[in-house]
């Protein structure tokens, strides 16, 4: 009834052996283009290995637990989608948990997921996890991937970006446009890797022998409302000409704050964001930002986890994901009249 591997081979022109390896999470030596083509076609044809047959042999539930801080944040919903697309193509499903950035809930969720006999876990967390979490995971020998910005200095299974580098990149762009008074909106809840983005910002300004006023650094919630409130406070207290907002959701709020204060972006204030959510290119002006490969992070996490489930004695790889500055309209050259020395 359903599509077979042969159907996928016919449609893609890829060999059956290769397809089988890719769909079983053992296709890392093939190009990403080939892997994507196979997954895409498997999805289109609704290819599906027999779940029960597989299950009997492997004693697995083919279920992965995934914990994210906030599913309504487009950053995390995109990450979930990347993981889900990959897992579904391999006949795995996701038990999704929303921790609301609370470490107690993370702890409880790990426990619940282990009760439900998931085959592995993906934990995206802004927190230092309770040590209890690791005791549980290790004692049950469950593979897990941490999307935690290397907060736990784990030796394997780290998929991460270099937040320091990203903060530096955003700031460097503003400096290169002639800005000297550059503010930053950070977070009040240790969410994302804001601390390291802040360090990148500080290092970049220092390298250019530019001073930083403590007034230029403002904390806020990692939401539209948080960005709005922090930017309002910051613009009332300073005469900055540029602003690095450490995530794009907050940048949406920053735009509104500027609008209400009669400050035009980018004429009066240049803004650089972080993440490159879909909305970034619909904003007015479109948002210059540091792109994280969000979907690919979810996909890679799923890929590494399935490998670890299939080869429990092999060490998991670590993967640093690339960042890229996406130049759009929200940051521009500082006009002469406003240059500060």
Binding site for a second copy (CB under 8 A): 46, 48, 51-52, 61, 63, 71-72, 74, 77-78, 80-81, 84-85, 93-98, 104-105, 108, 112-113, 115-116, 224, 228, 252-253, 255-256, 259, 278-279, 282, 284
C-alpha distance across the termini of the chain, in Å: 73
Question: What is the bridge-based pairing of β-strands 324-326 and 288-291?
Answer: antiparallel
Nearer to a second copy, 158 or 223 (CB): 223
CB of 95 to a second copy, least distance (A): 5
Name the residue nearer to a second copy (CB basis): 46 or 236: 46
CB of 168 or CB of 228, closer to a second copy:
228
Shortest CB 218 distance to a second copy, Å: 18
Do the beta carbons of residue 14 and residue 37 sit within 8 Å? yes
Contacts 24+ apart (CB under 8 A), 206-212: 208/175, 210/175, 210/180, 210/182
Residue closer to a second copy (CB basis): 148 or 248? 248
Shortest Å distance, C-beta 11 to a second copy = 16
Residue 67 Ramachandran class (φ > 0 left, ψ -120 to 50 alpha, else beta): beta
Burial bucket for residue 92 (CB in 10 Å: 0-12, 13-18, 19+): buried
User: Smallest distance from the beta carbon of 303 to a second copy, in angstroms?
Assistant: 18
Min separation Cβ 182 and a second copy, Å: 23
Q: Of 260 and 324, which CB lies nearer to a second copy in the complex structure?
A: 260
Nearer to a second copy, 169 or 185 (CB): 185
Q: What minimum distance in Å lies between the beta carbon of 313 and a second copy? A: 28
Taken in order 271, 275, 276, 278, the sign of the CA dihedral is negative
Which DSSP symbol is given to 189? S
Q: Which is nearer to a second copy, 156 or 329 (CB)?
A: 329
Helices 194-207 and 163-176 pack at an angle, to 10 degrees, of: 40
**Phi and psi for 324 in degrees, rounded to 5?**
-150, 135
Nearest CB to a second copy, comparing residues 81 and 332: 81
**Residue 172 Cβ vs a second copy, minimum distance, rounded to whole Å:** 28
User: Least separation, in Å, of the C-beta of 80 and a second copy?
Assistant: 6
Instruction: Give the C-alpha distances (Å, rounded to integers) separating 68 from 38, 78, 149, 168, 187.
Output: 28, 11, 13, 26, 17
Least distance from C-beta 248 to a second copy, angstroms? 12
CA nearest to 287, candidates 170, 196, 175: 170
Among 285, 283, 280, smallest CA distance to 331 is for 285
Q: Is 130 left (phi over 0), alpha (psi -120 to 50) or beta?
A: beta
3-state secondary structure of 46: coil
Q: Which is nearer to a second copy, 18 or 286 (CB)?
A: 286
Name which of 333, 285, 278, 301 is nearest 92 in CA terms.
301
Give the whole-angstrom CA distance, residue 76 versus residue 63: 19
């Amino acid at each position: 009834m359903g599509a077979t591997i042969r159907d996928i081979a016919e449609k893609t022109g890829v060999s059956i052996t290769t397809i089988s390896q890719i769909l079983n999470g053992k296709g890392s030596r093939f190009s990403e283009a080939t892997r994507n083509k196979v997954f895409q076609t498997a999805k289109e044809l609704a290819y599906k290995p027999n779940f029960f047959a597989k299950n009997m042999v492997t004693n697995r539930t083919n279920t992965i637990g995934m914990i994210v801080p906030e599913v309504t944040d487009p950053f995390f919903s995109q990450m979930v989608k990347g993981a889900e697309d990959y897992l579904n193509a391999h006949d795995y499903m996701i038990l999704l948990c929303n921790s609301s950035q609370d470490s107690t809930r993370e702890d409880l969720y790990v426990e619940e997921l282990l009760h439900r006999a998931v085959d592995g876990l993906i934990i995206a967390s802004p927190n230092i996890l309770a040590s209890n979490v690791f005791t549980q995971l290790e004692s049950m020998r469950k593979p897990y991937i941490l999307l935690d910005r290397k907060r736990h200095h784990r030796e394997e299974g780290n998929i991460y970006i270099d937040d320091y580098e990203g903060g530096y990149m955003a700031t460097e762009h503003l400096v290169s446009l002639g800005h000297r008074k550059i503010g930053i909106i950070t977070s009040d809840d240790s969410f994302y890797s804001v601390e390291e983005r802040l360090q990148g910002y500080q290092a970049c300004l220092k390298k250019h022998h530019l001073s930083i006023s403590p007034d230029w650094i403002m904390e806020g919630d990692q939401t539209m409302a948080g960005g709005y409130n922090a930017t309002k406070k910051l613009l009332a207290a300073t005469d900055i000409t540029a602003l690095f907002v450490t995530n794009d959701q907050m940048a949406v709020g920053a735009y509104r704050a500027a609008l209400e204060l009669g400050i035009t972006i980018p004429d009066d204030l240049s803004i650089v964001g972080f993440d490159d959510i879909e909305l970034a290119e619909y904003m007015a002006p479109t948002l210059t930002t540091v792109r994280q490969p969000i979907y690919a992070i979810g996909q890679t996490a799923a890929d590494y986890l399935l490998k670890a489930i299939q080869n429990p004695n092999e060490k998991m790889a670590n993967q640093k994901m690339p960042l890229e500055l996406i130049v759009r309209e929200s940051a521009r050259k500082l006009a002469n009249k406003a240059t500060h020395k």
